[in-house]
Amino acid sequence: MVEMWNIAIQTHADEEAEVCAVPQFKINTEEKWGIGWKYSLKCLNCGYISPVVKLYKEITTGKRGRKAAAVNINLQAGLLDMPLGKSRTRLLQADLDIPPPAESGMSKLSNYVSSKTTDLNNESMRTKVEEVKNDKICGFG
């Protein structure tokens, strides 16, 4: 959020300093990406519109299309460890006046996070089995 304001103030100063000394910003556009947002600001004095700034970090998942927002992956990772499904999570967010993410997007990320978690667990188990085998060989051999 702070980065967005700094970008808007700096680019406004670079482009409009001669015509508008003191900007007065309001939100120009806002776009939801799951529970992440991106915004642009508009100066009410001179009409300057800032670049669109993402208020989330992106993660490359290797999937086609738009990059995933880290907050959305974190949400799914957190939900794996809770007795709360997608529908209840969306209802909870709506009750809290937080626009809920699309259920289809949540499903895709849930599948991605579940797959990655399974891979991690398999790798962890493989490592432990190797350690036990090595202990047997060294301990009883």
Binding site for Zn ion (CB under 5 A): 16, 20, 23, 43, 45-46, 48
11: amino acid identity, one letter? T
70: amino acid identity, one letter? A
Q: Smallest gap, in angstroms, from Cβ of residue 6 to Zn ion?
A: 16
The answer to whether the beta carbons of residues 38 and 52 sit under 8 Å apart is yes
- Token pair belonging to 76: 């799914």
Q: Between 25 and 112, whose beta carbon lies closer to Zn ion?
A: 25
The answer to whether the beta carbons of residues 98 and 62 sit under 8 Å apart is no
Q: Smallest gap, in angstroms, from Cβ of residue 99 to Zn ion?
A: 29
Strand order in the sheet with 25-33: 25-33, 36-43, 53-54
Q: Between 16 and 59, whose beta carbon lies closer to Zn ion?
A: 16
Q: Between 43 and 113, whose beta carbon lies closer to Zn ion?
A: 43
Q: Between 15 and 30, whose beta carbon lies closer to Zn ion?
A: 15
Q: Smallest gap, in angstroms, from Cβ of residue 12 to Zn ion?
A: 6
Rounded to 10°, the helix 70-80/86-95 angle is 120
Q: Smallest gap, in angstroms, from Cβ of residue 118 to Zn ion?
A: 52
